[in-house]
Amino acid sequence: MSKNTGNAAAAVERVVTQAYAVIFGPKGAERDWDTMRAMYLPGARMTAMRPDGIEICTVERYIAGKRDFLTQNGFSESTLVNRIEIYGDMAHVWSSYSGDWIEPEGNPGRTRGINSFQLRRDEEGNWRIHSLLWQVETPDLPLPTDMDATR
């Protein structure tokens, strides 16, 4: 751990909180995509692991692919539990989440899982996301008890 772990941990947690906030919004609300782009380092990858397969994309592909879904259905996602580890200029955050939206026919959609954020400090000393990997919870793969604040 670095000697400025407390300050660094708070800064890392702010980035993770902002990552959730930037995709959060009511139906019809456009997201702040420029803020999202600024949170990620150039070349960053986003990888979703779902029961129906794995999707890997850049931030730009994520925006292009999810923009309509997020604005047409509304989406809220929030942290359940964050575990932050820092070593020098790199950080890892295990972040369990819960999210919901409204399907076009009016039915509620829900998801939970774990986000794995890898961050590093950029040349200006700011923490930015290097990559994001997430796995969706399933009946066969429930959240671990220590990552489920609802239990």
Phi, psi of 89, rounded to the nearest 5 degrees: -100, 20
2 pLDDT band, cuts 50/70/90, is very low
**Per-residue pLDDT tens over the stretch 36-55:** 999 999 999 999 999 999 99
Average pLDDT over residues 130-151: 94
Tell me the CATH number for domain 5-147: 3.10.450.50
Calpha distance 15→119 (Å, rounded):
9
Candidates 89, 95, 71; CA nearest to 14 is 95
Q: What is the mean pLDDT of the chain?
A: 93
**Per-residue pLDDT tens over the stretch 74-99:** 999 999 999 999 999 999 999 999 99
Phi, psi of 67, rounded to the nearest 5 degrees: -50, -55
Phi, psi of 9, rounded to the nearest 5 degrees: -60, -40
Residue 95 is given by DSSP the state: E
Candidates 133, 129, 137; CA nearest to 110 is 137
Among 3-7, 8-12, 113-117, the minimum mean pLDDT is found in 3-7
Q: What is the predicted pLDDT for the residue at 119?
A: 98
3 pLDDT band, cuts 50/70/90, is very low
E strand or H helix at 72, and its extent? helix 59-73
59 pLDDT band, cuts 50/70/90, is very high
Candidates 132, 99, 137; CA nearest to 115 is 132
Domain boundaries, the chain: 5-147
Q: What is the predicted pLDDT for the residue at 5?
A: 60
Q: What is the predicted pLDDT for the residue at 1?
A: 39
